[in-house]
């Protein structure tokens, strides 16, 4: 319940934005004026509809109010007479866009409960129950979000904002794609919520039905960025009647005046005629409602009290961590898939590899076969990390792109939570995989816990490096498959040059030999070669046609290291993996260019 009255005002809003993106490398695109002197007022407990055809500026106006719009903006947006900054909007208001992503595996109640707010314990649970009841979601509270229909999903997206108790709630086309009954239910629920909680609601509609008219307190008609009418719905009928456009009986007034405010493009003559008529309507409304430089609502010093405040970073991290765990251990297809990828994919891959190399001998050909086995171990470790990440991380990346404008958390907080779950799972998975592949690499007479730790480090660091590299690419690449291809290209080159399995080290140019020291593959491969060759005895009798290489000579030829230093290899392998994870946290702190942000907008 909102404790006091609030008024949202927009004064003389002009907004210019790019209408066709120039791209990241093609320069700026063409700009256009999409809002022209827009004024509106919404009070607590009211529902205001922004009406207009596609391209009229509805979403641009909502983005300007929410401080999310790209481009140049002139005019004032005020909340209780105080300038509505981005930080103030994030703390006191909410914005529900058309595309809202939910974390699969969670129930409706869990999704609301894990929304970051300053409430905790009983107060948080009580608020969640109240929102579920208000939005008619109590019957599906324990239903998983991936099984919701479009109407339930739309109400859940609204509920995520209502849990934060906003004083103003913006909604972009909330009824789009809904059947008439669901649209009526949604608008009636929003109206009841506004009256009950005192929250002001501003929503956009493209095709309003007549049955939603009683639930609207105010209406704003836009056409090509200009205001045809803005004010109360009851006064709307009188205004249009007074200027010579009465609404016929048994006609939907919202749709009738929306058609009046829409350019007719069926022919050139109709286009010119309708454009002139709309220009006259915009000019007349502007003339009859002159723009004032002063706010419509002067309320003291402009101080806006905060309802709950903003949750701390630690609490947000805990919420994200618990949400990740709940999604991972959910009893369903999503949970089983997540556990399989995080825990069993790498061990099963190594078990398949073990089946191919189980009869490996220690003769001359066995040396080269073991060398190819190391190539496969590295490739599978990298591949499992890539596959797991492109399957599980994109939903969190999309959620980040939606939650960041709301100021809920940063990319660093998300990655810290994601890695807090992912890295322990990858460690357990690597231990299981090491147990599977250990007998193939190591002589059965040579059992040493230190050598097993070397094997674990090689597998774990390879998996984590591929995972973190994929996360880096997913920051700017929207399609997960494309990100996987890019990471695979980088790692294939690294394996070919630095692993000593495809080409020997001595066969490389001197500058390439030096550059391999800057790759993770060199150190992980060195650990695996040390395990596979320094603990084995060669059962080989030299003949005229058979060459029996010594293990040290073989390693010197393949890696350029007759006696590798395992301590350096372990430290370097872990440093690459952990360092890239830390680099990603820093990378996700920086704001992305507009062309990149647009990729993740549906």
Is pLDDT of 532 > 80? Answer: no
Domain finish residue from 243, 268, 288: 288
Is pLDDT of 19 > 70? Answer: no
Token look-up 């109206």 returns 191
pLDDT of residue 464: 96
- Do 435 and 578 lie in one domain? The reply is yes
Judge whether 334 lies within some domain.
Answer: no
Domains contained in the chain, number:
2
283 burial level (CB within 10 Å; 0-12, 13-18, 19+): exposed
- Do 392 and 508 lie in one domain? The reply is yes
pTM, two decimal places: 0.86
What CATH number should be reported for the domain holding residue 51? 3.40.50.300
- Do 69 and 153 lie in one domain? The reply is yes
Domain finish residue from 244, 268, 288: 288
Which distant-in-sequence residues (6+ apart) come within 8 Å of 482 by Cβ? none
Judge whether 332 lies within some domain.
Answer: no
Judge whether 326 lies within some domain.
Answer: no
Query: Cα–Cα distance between 49 and 233 in angstroms, integer?
Result: 10
Is pLDDT of 293 > 50? Answer: no
pLDDT tens-digit series, residues 373-423: 888 999 999 999 999 999 999 999 988 888 888 888 888 999 999 999 999
Judge whether 23 lies within some domain.
Answer: no
Q: How confident is the model at residue 540 (pLDDT cuts 50, 70, 90)?
A: low
Query: Cα–Cα distance between 219 and 214 in angstroms, integer?
Result: 12
**pLDDT higher for 602 or 555?**
555
pLDDT of residue 24: 58
Domain finish residue from 248, 273, 288: 288
pLDDT of residue 460: 96
- Do 223 and 132 lie in one domain? The reply is yes
- Do 355 and 495 lie in one domain? The reply is yes
Is pLDDT of 251 > 50? Answer: yes
Q: How confident is the model at residue 140 (pLDDT cuts 50, 70, 90)?
A: very high
Query: Cα–Cα distance between 451 and 453 in angstroms, integer?
Result: 5
* Angle (deg, nearest 10), helices 364-392 and 411-441: 160
| pLDDT (average), residues 345-374 | 80
Q: How confident is the model at residue 70 (pLDDT cuts 50, 70, 90)?
A: confident
| pLDDT (average), residues 328-347 | 92
Judge whether 335 lies within some domain.
Answer: no
Query: Cα–Cα distance between 234 and 481 in angstroms, integer?
Result: 53
Is pLDDT of 536 > 80? Answer: no
Picking from 411-415, 486-490, 541-545, which range would have the lowest pLDDT averaged per residue?
541-545
- Do 477 and 557 lie in one domain? The reply is yes
Average pLDDT, the chain: 84
Give the residue numbers spanning the domain of 531. 346-600
**pLDDT higher for 537 or 415?**
415
Is pLDDT of 1 > 80? Answer: no
Nearest to 499 by CA among 462, 447, 551, 455: 462
pLDDT of residue 405: 82
Query: Cα–Cα distance between 563 and 534 in angstroms, integer?
Result: 9
Dihedral through CA 91, CA 93, CA 99, CA 104, nearest 10?
50
Residue 454, H or E segment? helix 449-474
Picking from 15-24, 90-99, 548-557, which range would have the lowest pLDDT averaged per residue?
548-557
Is pLDDT of 360 > 50? Answer: yes
- Do 249 and 356 lie in one domain? The reply is no
pLDDT of residue 299: 44
Judge whether 25 lies within some domain.
Answer: no
Q: What are phi and psi of 74, to 5 degrees?
A: -120, 150
pLDDT of residue 512: 74
In the chain, what percentage of residues exceed pLDDT 70? 83
Judge whether 574 lies within some domain.
Answer: yes
Picking from 178-187, 410-419, 518-527, which range would have the lowest pLDDT averaged per residue?
518-527
* Angle (deg, nearest 10), helices 394-403 and 411-441: 170
pLDDT of residue 472: 94
| pLDDT (average), residues 356-370 | 70
- Do 275 and 401 lie in one domain? The reply is no
- Do 498 and 366 lie in one domain? The reply is yes
Is pLDDT of 490 > 90? Answer: yes
| Strand stretches in 208-281, DSSP E | 218-223, 226-232
Judge whether 165 lies within some domain.
Answer: yes
Q: How confident is the model at residue 65 (pLDDT cuts 50, 70, 90)?
A: very high
| Strand stretches in 6-155, DSSP E | 7-18, 31-43, 47-51, 72-79, 82-83, 93-96
Complete DSSP assignment for 279-329: HHHHHHHHHHSPPPSS-S---TT-----SS----HHHHHHHHHHHHHHHHT
Please give the angle made by the CA atoms of 86, 90 and 91, to the nearest 5 degrees: 120
- Do 110 and 202 lie in one domain? The reply is yes
120 burial level (CB within 10 Å; 0-12, 13-18, 19+): exposed
- Do 467 and 589 lie in one domain? The reply is yes
pLDDT of residue 118: 60
pLDDT of residue 33: 87
pLDDT tens-digit series, residues 189-213: 999 999 998 999 999 998 888 888 8
Q: How confident is the model at residue 306 (pLDDT cuts 50, 70, 90)?
A: very low
- Do 459 and 583 lie in one domain? The reply is yes
């Amino acid at each position: 319940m909102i404790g006091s009255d609030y008024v949202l005002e927009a004064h003389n809003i002009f907004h210019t934005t790019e209408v066709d993106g120039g791209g990241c490398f093609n320069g700026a695109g063409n700009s256009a004026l999409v809002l022209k002197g827009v004024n509106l007022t919404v009070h607590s407990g009211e529902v205001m509809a922004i009406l207009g055809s596609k391209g009229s500026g509805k979403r641009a106006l909502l983005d300007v109010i929410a401080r999310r719009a790209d481009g140049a903006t002139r005019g004032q947006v005020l909340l209780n007479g105080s300038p509505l900054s981005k930080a103030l909007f994030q703390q006191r208001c909410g914005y529900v866009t058309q595309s809202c992503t939910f974390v699969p595996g969670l129930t409706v109640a869990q999704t609301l409960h894990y929304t970051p707010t300053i409430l905790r314990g009983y107060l948080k649970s009580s608020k969640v129950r109240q929102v579920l009841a208000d939005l008619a979601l109590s019957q599906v509270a324990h239903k998983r979000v991936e099984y919701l229909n479009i109407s339930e999903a739309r109400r859940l997206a609204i509920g995520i904002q209502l849990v934060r108790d906003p004083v103003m709630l913006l909604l972009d086309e909330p009824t789009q794609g809904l059947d008439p009954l669901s649209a009526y239910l949604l608008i009636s629920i929003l109206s009841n919520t506004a009256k009950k909680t005192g929250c002001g609601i501003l929503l956009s509609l493209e095709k309003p039905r007549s049955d939603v008219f009683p639930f609207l307190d105010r209406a704003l008609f836009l056409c090509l960025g200009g205001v045809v009418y803005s004010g109360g719905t009851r006064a709307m009928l009188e205004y249009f009647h007074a200027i010579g456009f009465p609404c016929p009986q048994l006609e939907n007034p919202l749709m009738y005046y929306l058609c009046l405010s829409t350019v007719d493009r069926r022919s050139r003559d109709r286009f010119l005629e309708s454009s002139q008529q709309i220009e006259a309507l915009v000019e007349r409304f502007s003339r009859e409602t002159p723009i004032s430089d002063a706010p419509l609502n002067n309320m003291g010093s402009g101080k806006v009290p905060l309802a709950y405040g903003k949750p701390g970073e630690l609490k947000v991290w805990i919420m994200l961590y618990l949400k990740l765990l709940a999604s991972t251990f959910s009893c369903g297809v999503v949970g089983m898939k997540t556990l399989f990828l995080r825990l069993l994919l790498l061990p099963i891959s190594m078990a398949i590899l073990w089946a191919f190399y189980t009869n490996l001998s220690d003769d001359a050909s066995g040396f080269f076969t073991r060398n190819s086995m190391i190539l496969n171990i590295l490739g599978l470790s990298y591949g499992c990390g890539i596959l797991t990440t492109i399957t599980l991380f994109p939903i969190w990346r999309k959620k980040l792109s939606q939650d960041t404008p709301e100021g809920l958390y940063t990319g660093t907080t998300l990655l810290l939570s994601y890695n807090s779950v992912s890295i322990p799972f990858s460690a357990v998975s690597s231990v299981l995989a090491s147990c599977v592949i250990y007998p193939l690499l190591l002589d059965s007479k040579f059992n040493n816990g230190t050598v097993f730790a070397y094997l674990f480090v090689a597998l774990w660091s390879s998996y984590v490096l591929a995972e973190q590299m994929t996360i880096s690419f997913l920051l700017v690449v929207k399609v997960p498959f494309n990100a996987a291809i890019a990471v695979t290209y980088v790692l294939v080159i690294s394996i070919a040059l630095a692993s000593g399995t495809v080409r020997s080290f001595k066969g490389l140019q001197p500058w390439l030999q030096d550059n391999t020291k800057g790759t993770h593959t060199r150190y992980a491969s060195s650990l695996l070669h040390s395990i596979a060759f320094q603990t084995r005895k060669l059962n080989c009798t030299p003949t005229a046609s058979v060459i029996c290489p010594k293990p040290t000579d073989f390693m010197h030829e393949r890696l350029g290291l007759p006696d590798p230093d395992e301590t350096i290899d372990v430290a370097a392998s872990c440093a690459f993996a952990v360092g890239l994870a830390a680099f990603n946290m820093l990378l996700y702190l920086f704001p992305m260019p507009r062309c990149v942000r647009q990729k993740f907008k549906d």
